[in-house]
Amino acid sequence: MAQNIYDKPEFFAGYSALPRQVHGLAGAPEWPAVRAMLPDLAGKRVLDLGCGFGWFTRWARENGAARALGIDLSQNMIARARADTTDPMVSFEIADLEKLVLPRAGFDVAYSALTFHYIEDFGTLAATVRQALTPGAHFVFTIEHPIFMAAAHPHWLSDEDGRKTWPVNGYSREGERRTDWFASGVLKYHRTVATTLNSLIGAGFAIRQVEEFAPTAGQIAENPDLAEEVERPMMLLVSAQR
């Protein structure tokens, strides 16, 4: 079972104050890039894996989806997600993605944001998602980039010219990584780019687009703190199709 750090009070308090939780999709700098990778949602049944407060789940419905289901392990998050909508075609369920059971061909689009790095066995999850999708359906997700996750001590360094530099080690050693992020010992699972893509291909998906998020010049002008994201990607964005 995935570690349910999100229901620890100190974690939840810190996490809830993140710009992307306060402002929703508009608070996530990668959102324009992710949105450009999404298919038209009109009339589609949309699945949101690791939905958190349900920002995307509700957005999907507001942007034409016939139905939208958000799933998350966190009772706190699902409670707030449910409280934030009265739309009967938007629903939220508590479930562990590592033990997920989904109706066959029950969805036309699957989406996930920054969740799969909490999942140990991505191949099984990819197969579960694939059987839940209709032929031609898109599966679009973001995940922490393995360049960001690999190192034993992931933090900025300076190179000999003073340039912000990110350390990589243990890249080929997949598995547990522990970091301190609002709480100590948050458990994540490092996988190479190759393993993520090969797991999708092995489950029967075609890779349609891969992005390694970097902010645009306009985004950096508006928010100079984003400049460091050019030095190393924090997020991998993938569009696959059944």
Contact between 179 and its own copies (CB under 8 A)?
no
- Stretch of 34-42, 85-93, 115-123, 225-233 lying at the interface with its own copies (CB under 8 A): 225-233
> Cβ 154 to its own copies, closest distance in Å?
10
> Cβ 208 to its own copies, closest distance in Å?
7
Residues numbered 111 to 150 that lie near its own copies (CB under 8 A) are: 147, 150
Q: How far is CA 128 from CA 84, 150, 162, 171, 223, in A?
A: 28, 26, 46, 27, 38
> Cβ 127 to its own copies, closest distance in Å?
17
- Stretch of 12-20, 74-82, 134-142, 166-174 lying at the interface with its own copies (CB under 8 A): 166-174
Report whether 228 contacts 216 (CB < 8 A).
Answer: no
> Cβ 105 to its own copies, closest distance in Å?
23
* Main-chain phi, psi angles of 178, to 5 degrees: -110, 130
Q: Which of 160, 217, 218, 224 binds its own copies (CB under 8 A)?
A: 160
DSSP state of 226: G
Q: Which of 117, 188, 232, 242 binds its own copies (CB under 8 A)?
A: 232
- Stretch of 54-62, 90-98, 181-189, 195-203 lying at the interface with its own copies (CB under 8 A): 195-203
Instruction: List Cβ neighbours of 228 (8 Å cut-off, separation of 6 or more).
Output: 156, 164
Q: Which of 90, 102, 229, 235 binds its own copies (CB under 8 A)?
A: 229
- Cα 65 to Cα 40: distance, rounded to the nearest angstrom: 9
> Cβ 13 to its own copies, closest distance in Å?
30
Contact between 164 and its own copies (CB under 8 A)?
yes
Residues numbered 205 to 224 that lie near its own copies (CB under 8 A) are: 206-212, 214
CA–chain centroid gap for 27, Å, is: 14
Q: Which of 66, 114, 127, 151 binds its own copies (CB under 8 A)?
A: 151
Helix (H, G, I), strand (E, B) or coil at 86: coil
Contact between 105 and its own copies (CB under 8 A)?
no
215, two tokens: 């902010």
How many Cβ atoms are within 10 Å of 66's Cβ, its own excluded?
14
How many Cβ atoms are within 10 Å of 51's Cβ, its own excluded?
26
Candidates 155, 206, 212, 214; CA nearest to 179 is 155
> Cβ 238 to its own copies, closest distance in Å?
9
50, two tokens: 């690791």
- Contact residues toward its own copies (CB under 8 A) are 147, 150-153, 157, 159-161, 163-173, 192-194, 197-198, 201, 206-212, 214, 229-233
